[in-house]
């Protein structure tokens, strides 16, 4: 797993949508997406700039948050 940061909110919205089509994307507090490294190829293909963050150094207070699913 790898945490990333986008340069702008618009690029972040586009990037998360593209990543979400590749695989499950999770987010840390502060709107920091977390995904598998292989999924970043789609960002590179669409020329969306991002910065890799040191995910291993994040502590438990930066817990992952998921949107709970509910059945209708």
The residues spanned by each domain of the chain are 2-58
Sheet holding 2-6, edge to edge: 26-28, 32-35, 2-6, 50-53
Q: What is the pLDDT of residues 8-58, one digit of tens each?
A: 999 999 999 999 988 888 888 778 898 888 999 999 999 999 999 876 655
- Structure-model confidence comparison of residues 63 and 44, the more confident one: 44
Threshold 0.85, pTM exceeds: no
Query: What pLDDT, on a 0 to 100 scale, did the predictor assign at position 19?
Result: 93
How far, in Å, CA of 72 to CA of 63, rounded? Answer: 28
State the pLDDT confidence band at 63, using cuts at 50, 70 and 90. Answer: very low
Q: Which fold has domain 2-58?
A: Alpha-Beta Plaits (3.30.70)
């Amino acid at each position: 797993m790898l945490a990333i940061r986008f340069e702008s909110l618009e690029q972040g919205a586009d990037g998360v949508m593209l990543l979400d089509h590749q695989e499950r994307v999770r987010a840390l507090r502060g709107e920091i997406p977390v995904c598998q490294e292989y999924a970043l190829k789609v960002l590179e293909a669409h020329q969306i700039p991002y910065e890799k963050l040191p995910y291993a150094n994040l502590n438990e207070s930066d817990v992952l948050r998921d949107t709970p699913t509910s059945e209708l």
